[in-house]
């Protein structure tokens, strides 16, 4: 199994999931700026869309899109409880969180990474993100993780996207539950392993 990733990008989410699941894999760096692998391969020949993450299975099958990839990973290691069982309401709650994080948080950071965005556009993006994160902060009240006491793949995704706050000027200081949650997630050994592997921490 191979995970194509770019350091610090949204591919950190499946990277965390793989390490939490204890699944052996080969991390392959596919920088989003150059789209060139370390061996010189043009990443577009592997993923015509050019973005990460991409998970390549041992039989050569390729999976794109982070929310699909992390659920696949979770289902390969059911005893790790990284996702509720398929067909349960809890599984749909997980998918609800993954969709919300993707559409409201992940996508919300987009204008802040776009050099063509005006200051007005960036300010509006920060305001919108703040309103969404305020809601998340409320949802985390009295809970260890998004789904309760059990860490799931949604937590790895929220942790990954909120990592971008500091570099984009999104202020998290008013969200005590979210900050405490980020500390809990960031202290997990698998999360630290993934961060170190991507050069995001020493």
Where do the structural domains in the chain lie, given as residue ranges? 2-80+190-197, 89-188
- Residues 44-59 pLDDT 10s: 999 999 999 999 999 9
CA angle 109, 52, 91 (to 5 degrees): 80
Residue 27 has phi, psi (to 5 degrees) of -80, 130
Do 2-80+190-197 and 89-188 come out as alike in CATH topology? no
Q: Which CATH class is domain 2-80+190-197?
A: alpha beta
**Residue 201 confidence class, pLDDT cut points 50, 70, 90:** confident
Q: Helix, strand or coil for residue 59?
A: coil
**Can you tell me which residue has the tokens 């398929």?**
86
Give this prediction's pTM. Answer: 0.96
Among candidate residues 176, 163, 168, 165, the one with its CA nearest the CA of residue 16: 163
**Domain 89-188 maps to which CATH number in 3.40.640.10, 1.20.1050.10, 3.40.250.10, 1.10.357.10?**
1.20.1050.10
Summarised one tens digit per residue, pLDDT across range 125-156 is 999 999 999 999 999 999 999 999 999 999 99
- The closest alpha carbon to 140, from 126, 129, 155, 125, belongs to 155
Give the tens place of pLDDT for each residue, 83-142.
Answer: 999 999 999 999 999 999 999 999 999 999 999 999 999 999 999 999 999 999 999 999
């Amino acid at each position: 199994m191979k995970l194509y990733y770019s350091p610090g990008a949204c591919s950190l989410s499946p990277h965390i999931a793989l390490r939490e699941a204890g699944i052996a894999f080969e991390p392959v760096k596919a920088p989003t700026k150059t789209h060139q692998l370390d061996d010189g391969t043009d990443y577009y020949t592997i993923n015509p869309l050019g973005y990460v993450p991409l998970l390549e299975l041992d039989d050569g099958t390729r999976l794109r899109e982070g929310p699909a990839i992390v659920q696949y990973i979770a289902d390969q290691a059911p005893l790790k409880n990284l996702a509720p069982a398929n067909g349960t309401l809890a599984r749909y709650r997980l998918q609800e969180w993954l969709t919300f994080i993707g559409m409201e948080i992940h996508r919300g950071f987009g204008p802040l990474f776009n050099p063509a965005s005006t200051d007005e556009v960036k300010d509006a993006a920060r305001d919108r993100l703040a309103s969404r994160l305020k809601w998340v902060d409320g949802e985390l009240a009295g809970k260890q993780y998004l789904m309760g006491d059990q860490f799931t793949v949604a937590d790895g995704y929220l942790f990954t996207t909120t990592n971008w706050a500091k570099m984009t000027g999104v202020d998290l200081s008013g969200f005590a539950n979210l900050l405490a949650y980020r500390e809990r997630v960031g202290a997990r050994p698998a999360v630290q392993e993934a961060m170190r592997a991507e050069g995001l921490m020493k």
